[in-house]
Amino acid sequence: MALKLHGIPMSTCTTRVLTCLHEKGLDFELVPVNLFAGEHKQPPFLAKNPFGQIPVLEDGDLTLFESRAITAYLAEKYKETGCDLLRHNDLKEAALVKVWLEVESQHYHPAIYQIVYQFFVLPLQGKTADQAIIDVNLEKLGKVLDVYEARLGTTKCLAGDFYSLADLHHLSYTYYFMKTPWASLINSRPNVKTWWEDISSRPAFKKVAEGMTFGEK
């Protein structure tokens, strides 16, 4: 039975999982969820994810939500195929991947999410972006990127000299962020810029990015 992913091609969290599926060369079916009709907040969908959010993965009897738990599951289940995203053969490397997965989750994501939400999502709902919220989060993101700049001066990727799930988790939100007027936060930091160009040019992500059409007419 094939993997089923419920979500949409332009969603940041769905594409986090899509990228992982492509890195592993896995067959799957993308089942669209009609967000504009509120499908994700209605009982059939809520039975899959009680928080009413996409994506959801169905693998036979197993139903999983939370994109970062889904990618970790796929990376673990298919650890012997495709890119070694979790460094499962080395406890210390695996631990460092987990550290930078948490850094993305706790430091990078909260700031970049607010900017992407204000700039892309609110206008879709007919609302105006709040520049004050954007400014506060640009400052926070700048500070986080300073730490990344220092880190990426010592290692090629975040957890070490290898691409891992920690780098992959940054792709979707950063891709949209680079379409805002504030891409210079990435481009003005040479190590971060090199890392971004590197990870965003991976074939698995380029395939997914084709569907990431937020902000385009």
Partner 1 sequence: MVMKVYGPVRAACPQRVLACLVEKGVEFEVVHVDLDSGEQKRPDFLLRQPFGQVPVVEDGDFRLFESRAIIRYIAAKYAEQGPDLLGKSLEEKAVVDQWLEVEAHNFNELVYTLVLQLLILPRMGERGDLALAHTCEQKLEKVFDVYEQRLSKSRYLAGDSFTLADLSHLLAIRNLVKEAGMAHLVTERKSVSAWWEDISNRAAWKKVMELAA
Residues that bind partner 1 (CB under 8 A): 50-51, 62, 64-66, 68-70, 72-73, 76-77, 91-92, 94-96, 98-99, 101-103, 105-107, 110, 144, 147, 150-151
Question: Which among 191, 101, 105, 107 is positioned nearest to 155, based on CA atoms?
Answer: 191
Do 166 and 93 contact (CB within 8 A), yes or no? no
Cβ pair 112, 192 in contact under 8 A: no
- Closest separation between CB of residue 216 and partner 1, Å? 27
Q: Are 57 and 68 in contact (CB under 8 A)?
A: no
Please answer whether residues 71 and 169 qualify as being in contact, where contact means their C-beta atoms are separated by less than 8 angstroms: yes
For the record, the structure tokens of 123 come out as 């206008």
Closer to partner 1 at the Cβ: 113 or 162?
113
The answer to whether the beta carbons of residues 169 and 74 sit under 8 Å apart is no
Q: Which is nearer to partner 1, 95 or 206 (CB)?
A: 95
Shortest reach from residue 15's CB to partner 1, in Å: 17
DSSP state of 106: I
Partner residues linked to 29 by β-bridges: 4
Q: Which is nearer to partner 1, 136 or 183 (CB)?
A: 136
Residue that the structure tokens 């084709």 belong to: 210
Q: Which is nearer to partner 1, 92 or 217 (CB)?
A: 92
Q: From the CB of 118, what's the least distance to partner 1, in Å? A: 17
Q: Cβ 151 to partner 1, closest distance in Å? A: 7
Q: Could you give the residue ranges of the DSSP H alpha helices within 78-214?
A: 91-103, 109-116, 122-124, 131-151, 165-168, 171-177, 184-187, 190-200, 203-209
Q: How far is CA 92 from the centre of its chain?
A: 24
Smallest distance, Å, CB 65 to partner 1? 6
Strand partners for 58: 4, 63
Output the smallest distance, CB 78 to partner 1, in A: 10
